[in-house]
């Protein structure tokens, strides 16, 4: 199974509309990222974590099932956040007008692949 970094690389190959991706556990433990600049990475992690927390609180307040994915569209692009097991989540940013269903599928696949690879390596749950 691919490592987290390899899963992110495969995601970029599958989904060319994705500009950046960051795979995170908990609040800020970065497992893999496309960012060359740690400051930009930290901004993305913080922004995505806050959006995920707000989405989770809103779902709970509306008596909805636990939030597993979030899509936000802006004039200049979109953000997709998919939550996985062990408080692990993958956030990506795209340019404007991506194929939403395809990006969500690819992000879910990448997250699942990264978690399976981590489990195979014996690092799952660290």
Please give the full DSSP string across 16-53, using - where no structure is assigned.
Answer: TTEEEEEEEETTTEEEEE--SSHHHHHHHHHHHHHHHH
Segment 74-101 shows an average pLDDT of 94
Summarised one tens digit per residue, pLDDT across range 4-27 is: 999 999 999 999 999 999 999 988
**All structural domains of the chain:** 4-120 (3.30.450.30)
What is this structure's pTM?
Answer: 0.89
CA dist., res. 68 & res. 106, Å (int): 14
Q: Is the pLDDT of residue 126 over 50?
A: no
């Amino acid at each position: 199974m691919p490592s987290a970094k390899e899963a992110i690389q495969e995601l970029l190959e599958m989904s060319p509309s994705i500009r950046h991706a960051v795979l995170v556990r908990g609040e800020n433990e970065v497992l893999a990222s496309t960012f060359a600049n740690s400051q930009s990475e930290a901004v993305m992690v913080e922004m995505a974590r806050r959006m995920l927390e707000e989405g989770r609180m809103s779902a709970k307040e509306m008596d909805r099932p636990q939030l597993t994915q979030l899509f936000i569209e802006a004039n200049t692009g979109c953000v997709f956040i998919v939550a996985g097991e062990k408080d692990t989540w993958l956030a990506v940013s795209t340019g404007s007008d991506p194929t939403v269903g395809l990006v969500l599928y690819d992000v879910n696949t990448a997250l699942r692949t990264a978690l399976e690879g981590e489990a195979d390596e014996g690092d799952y749950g660290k």
